[in-house]
């Protein structure tokens, strides 16, 4: 058992302190965030001949939500084995979410996510069963050696060796001559004349080891900084596991864009918590039968199998049937992209719901039973999938193997309802599934000229295939934009104001800790922006956030590391305000958006079936709207905006 | 300005154990850690120091990249440890009402 014996005491800062220095750089395209979307944005822009700088807050080789791995690659409709078209998949994504989805980004994903897999292979990643470990398995295509998950008939989701991916992305970005700068947090946007809502002309950053301030002049900027977290959930003393996504993912891009007039939609949508720190078990670490573990057999405490049912409630007799559409069904959606609520047309097999199983006398606790799975299915789940999913390779696969877990002998216990393995209160909410984000056009440009968005910065985003595809696409279009626009000029007073704002927490040695502020934000959000909302409650919440803004003037950072954490927490505070304004703007309840208003109780009135948008200008917060199908015909628009790419212009 | 100091995080978790006899102080773990929770040892060749244990995301890059087997171990928080048992011990006790 480890002990705290070697916990160090306070020590002198070991890196050079450079917060008095300013670096000034100039580029065509600045990419902020070096996860999957950021690396591909850098590659996409560089493939068009642009000069590219990429800023990553952590270490690009391992950082981002999938930095340490991923087990499947979704929506690869153009792979040679797929039996569905990009149009069919995008249509399922849109209708499955009753229209509240990003038609543009998911169509891009369906058209290009397979291309990105081939890029990864080119840069050294493993995407095929080249060692013939699974030869002859149901889920393998012996000609291409591709392996598939979920729907084995339609074959549009690939099983992949994702622990090899992030290094390949990093390598690809460097081979294409993007300048990758680690430990550097993009912290503020610069606009033409320093005006809100004006063209974006660059950004500023701080280094988490030296405190150095960097000012970058760029003709276009691509935001790849994931989504807000820690608005409702925070784990004091274990802040790193407050949420499903990494702790450094704090929605910095959302906060930066909101400050200068970026437009957002769907941020009124939040879900009751599914994953958080010490409240639930880590994802895929317990007995379950979803995603990484689909479609594992579940048994009860007395060893009886919990029945698997198809969409019509018909009990399935074999394991193979779990991987096939129901009679009369074209394909089903699982593992990314599946609707939040059951949607008959695309509904895949599931086990009997827990409540129903208990009524029928099945005994808790339940277990995942790999022992009774066919040998290749057992080996692909406990081996390839758990061994490649990022948060399970070391802490689950390696740790359980080392502790003696044997998938051919042992049953792994399930907690709660098995999937989430944790129980949350209604006000403990989270952005999960496909939450809100920045509004985009067909170039993946935002409402701010010159600012592009990719991955989880976009509204209604999810998963790594989406991040990679939209990253490359946004990078290409950002490069085209840079090539067709002249040099930009920075507004020095804005640069100076950003420097003063960012270094402010260094001004004192005593005061408010980042953790105390972080916890206080979640208290305001739980109290006033929880499971039920009303104008009165939400306005009270805004007042609470104003108080915290006052208090945050006492925030302390004693070194560059703590300064980065302080800025992240201040971004969370900004994002809390953005989310409350998003909730105020929708004056109607919506089942699909999991949005309940006490003062507008009617669910989904037709007049509100639209995207509500929010942004700021000099006069305050503004609201607007977009038709639910504002993106128009998917294939036509895609082809109109990507003629070069379709013609094979990519490297 | 006064001396810049690093103050260890007050954490509820103890995610990382480094065995100083095996660790060569190559600092690869420090270079790949996504939350930058280590600081280099001021003694050359000494093991990195865990300054911000509470920020660990438990994704294990540090363990994956370590060239010395057993030099660094990731410790799951005790509250999240999971049970398993031989399948054969899941035995019938009563009848199921169908």
Q: What is the pLDDT of residue B78?
A: 86
Tell me the DSSP string of B41-94: -SSTTPPPEES-GGG-----HHHHH-SSTTSEEE---GGG---EEEGGG----S
Q: Is the pLDDT of residue B98 over 50?
A: no
| Chain A interface includes B42 (CB < 8 A) | yes
Instruction: Give SS3 for A596.
Output: strand
Q: Does the distance separating the beta carbons of A237 and B50 come in below 8 Å?
A: no
Q: Is the pLDDT of residue A48 over 60?
A: yes
Q: What stretches of A122-178 adopt beta strand conformation (E)? A: 147-148, 158-159
Question: Helix A560-585 vs helix A535-551: angle between axes, to the nearest 10 degrees?
Answer: 160
Percent of chain A scored above 70 by pLDDT?
Answer: 98
The reply to whether omega before A158 is within 30° of 0 (cis) is no
Most confident among A281-285, A402-406, B2-6 (mean pLDDT) = A402-406
Residue of B90, B95, B97 best to disrupt the A interface, most CBs of A under 10 A: B90
User: Per-residue pLDDT tens for A424-443?
Assistant: 899 999 998 899 999 999 99
Q: For chain A, what are the domain ranges?
A: 282-413, 507-603
| Chain A interface includes B28 (CB < 8 A) | no
Tokens representing residue A390 in the block: 């990022």
More reliable by pLDDT, A462 or A458: A458
Fold type of domain B16-78: Alpha-Beta Plaits (3.30.70)
Q: Which of residues 213-252 of A touch B (CB under 8 A)?
A: 236-241, 246-248
Q: Does the distance separating the beta carbons of B96 and A304 come in below 8 Å?
A: yes
Q: How far is B83 from chain A (nearest CA, A)?
A: 6
Q: What is the pLDDT of residue A538?
A: 98
Q: What is the pLDDT of residue A420?
A: 60
Instruction: Give SS3 for A594.
Output: coil
Categorize the per-residue pLDDT at A2 as very low, low, confident or very high, splitting at 50, 70 and 90. Answer: very low
Residue of A nearest to B4 (CA): A13
pLDDT, mean of residues A504-519: 94
Task: Tell the residue number behind the tokens 């972080």, with chain if given.
Answer: A518
Chains A–B, number of C-beta pairs less than 8 Å apart: 205
Q: Is the pLDDT of residue A649 over 60?
A: no
Q: Which of residues 63-82 of B touch A (CB under 8 A)?
A: 63-65, 73-77, 79-80, 82
User: Per-residue pLDDT tens for A198-232?
Assistant: 999 999 999 999 999 999 999 999 999 999 999 99
Q: Does the distance separating the beta carbons of B95 and A361 come in below 8 Å?
A: yes
DSSP state, residue A428:
-
Q: For chain B, what are the domain ranges?
A: 16-78
| Chain B interface includes A561 (CB < 8 A) | yes
Categorize the per-residue pLDDT at A373 as very low, low, confident or very high, splitting at 50, 70 and 90. Answer: very high
> CB neighbours of A128 closer than 8 A, spacing ≥ 6?
A121, A144, A145, A146, A147
| Chain B interface includes A505 (CB < 8 A) | no
Residue of B nearest to A369 (CA): B87
Q: How far is B53 from chain A (nearest CA, A)?
A: 8
| Chain A interface includes B27 (CB < 8 A) | no
Instruction: Tell whether domain A507-603 is in CATH 1.25.40.10.
Output: no
Q: Which of residues 377-396 of A touch B (CB under 8 A)?
A: 390-391, 393-395
User: Per-residue pLDDT tens for A599-642?
Assistant: 999 999 999 999 999 999 999 999 999 999 999 999 999 999 99
More reliable by pLDDT, B94 or A442: A442
Q: How far is B23 from chain A (nearest CA, A)?
A: 14
Distance CA A2, CA A114 (A): 44
pTM for this structure?
A: 0.97
Distance CA A316, CA A242 (A): 38
Q: What is the pLDDT of residue B80?
A: 86
Distance CA A576, CA A636 (A): 37
- Tell me how many degrees the CA angle B77-A241-A60 measures, rounded to the nearest 5: 115
Q: Does the distance separating the beta carbons of A8 and B49 come in below 8 Å?
A: yes
Q: How far is A573 from chain B (nearest CA, A)?
A: 19
Q: Is the pLDDT of residue A252 over 50?
A: yes
Q: How far is A177 from chain B (nearest CA, A)?
A: 21
More reliable by pLDDT, A458 or A280: A458
Q: What is the pLDDT of residue A651?
A: 43
Residue of A15, A239, A421 best to disrupt the B interface, most CBs of B under 10 A: A239
| B54 → closest Cβ in A68, A237, A367 | A237
Chain A partners of B8 at a C-beta cutoff of 8 Å?
7-10
Residue-wise burial string across A411-447, b where 16 or more C-beta atoms lie within 10 A, e elsewhere: bbbbbbebbbbbebeebbbbbbbbbbbbbbebbbbbb
Distance CA A128, CA A147 (A): 7
Main-chain dihedrals φ then ψ at residue A577, nearest 5 degrees: -65, -45
pLDDT, mean of residues A505-521: 94
Residue of B nearest to A207 (CA): B36
């Amino acid at each position: 058992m480890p002990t705290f014996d070697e916990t160090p005491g306070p020590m002198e800062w070991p890196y050079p302190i450079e917060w008095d220095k300013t670096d000034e750089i100039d580029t065509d395209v600045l990419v902020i965030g070096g996860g999957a979307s950021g690396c591909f944005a850098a590659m996409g822009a560089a493939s068009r001949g642009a000069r590219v700088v990429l800023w990553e807050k952590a270490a690009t080789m391992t950082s981002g939500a999938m930095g340490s791995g991923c087990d499947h690659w979704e929506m690869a409709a153009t792979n040679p084995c797929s039996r569905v078209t990009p149009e069919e998949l995008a249509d399922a994504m849109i209708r499955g979410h009753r229209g509240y989805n990003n038609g543009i980004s998911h169509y891009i994903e369906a058209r290009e996510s397979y291309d990105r897999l081939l890029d990864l292979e080119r840069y050294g990643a493993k995407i095929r069963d080249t060692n013939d470990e699974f030869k002859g398995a149901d889920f393998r295509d012996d000609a291409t050696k591709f392996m598939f998950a979920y729907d084995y008939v339609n074959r549009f989701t690939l099983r992949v060796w994702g622990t090899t991916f992030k290094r390949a992305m990093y390598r690809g970005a460097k081979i294409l001559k993007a300048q990758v700068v680690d430990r550097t947090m993009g912290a503020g946007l610069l606009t033409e004349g320093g005006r809100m809502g004006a063209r974006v002309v660059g950004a500023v950053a701080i280094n988490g080891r030296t405190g150095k301030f960097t000012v970058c002049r760029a003709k276009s900027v691509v935001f790849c900084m994931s989504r807000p977290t820690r608005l409702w959930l925070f784990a004091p003393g274990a802040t790193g596991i407050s949420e499903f996504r990494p702790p450094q993912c704090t929605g910095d891009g959302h906060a930066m864009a909101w400050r200068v007039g970026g437009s957002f939609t769907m941020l009124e949508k939040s879900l009751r918590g599914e994953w958080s720190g010490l409240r639930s078990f880590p994802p895929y670490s317990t007995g379950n039968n979803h995603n990484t573990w689909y479609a594992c057999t579940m048994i009860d405490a007395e060893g009886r199998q919990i029945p698997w049912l198809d969409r019509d409630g018909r009990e399935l007799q074999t394991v193979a049937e779990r991987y096939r559409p129901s009679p009369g069904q074209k394909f089903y959606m699982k593992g990314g992209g599946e609707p939040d609520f059951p949607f008959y047309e695309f509904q895949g097999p599931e086990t009997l719901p827990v409540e129903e199983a208990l009524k029928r006398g099945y005994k808790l606790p339940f277990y995942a039973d790999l022992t009774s799975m066919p040998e290749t299915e057992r080996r692909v789940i406990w081996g390839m999938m758990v061994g490649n999913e990022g948060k399970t390779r070391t802490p689950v696969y390696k740790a359980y193997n080392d502790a003696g877990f044997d998938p051919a002998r042992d049953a792994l216990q399930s907690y709660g309802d098995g999937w989430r393995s944790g129980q949350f209160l209604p006000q403990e909410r989270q952005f999960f599934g496909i939450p809100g984000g920045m509004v985009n056009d067909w170039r993946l440009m935002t409402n701010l000229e010159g600012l592009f968005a990719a991955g989880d910065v976009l509204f209604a985003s999810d998963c790594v295939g989406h991040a990679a595809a939209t990253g490359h696409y946004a990078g290409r279009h950002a490069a085209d934009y840079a090539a067709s626009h002249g040099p930009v000029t920075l507004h020095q007073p804005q640069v100076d104001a950003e420097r003063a704002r960012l270094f402010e927490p260094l001004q004192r040695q005593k005061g408010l800790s980042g953790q105390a502020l972080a916890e206080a934000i979640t208290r305001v959000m739980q109290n006033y922006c929880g499971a039920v909302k009303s104008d009165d409650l939400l306005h009270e919440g805004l007042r609470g956030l104003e108080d915290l803004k006052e208090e945050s003037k006492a925030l302390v950072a004693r070194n560059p590391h703590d300064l980065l954490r302080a800025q992240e927490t201040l971004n969370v505070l900004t994002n809390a305000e953005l989310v409350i304004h998003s909730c105020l703007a929708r004056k109607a309840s919506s089942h699909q958006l999991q949005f309940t208003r006490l003062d507008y109780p009617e669910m989904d009135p037709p007049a509100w079936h639209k995207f509500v948008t929010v942004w700021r200008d000099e006069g305050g917060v503004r609201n607007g709207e977009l038709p639910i199908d504002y993106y128009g015909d998917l294939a036509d628009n895609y082809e109109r905006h990507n003629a070069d790419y379709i013609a094979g212009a990519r490297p | 300005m006064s001396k810049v100091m690093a103050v260890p995080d007050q954490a509820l978790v103890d995610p990382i154990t480094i065995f100083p006899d095996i660790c060569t102080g190559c600092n690869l773990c420090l270079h790949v850690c996504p939350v930058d929770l280590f600081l280099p040892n001021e003694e050359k060749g000494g093991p990195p120091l865990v300054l911000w244990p509470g920020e660990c995301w438990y994704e294990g890059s540090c363990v994956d990249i370590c060239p010395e087997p057993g030099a660094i171990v990731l410790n799951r928080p005790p509250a999240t440890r999971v049970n398993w048992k031989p399948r054969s011990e899941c035995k019938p006790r009563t009848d199921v009402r169908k």
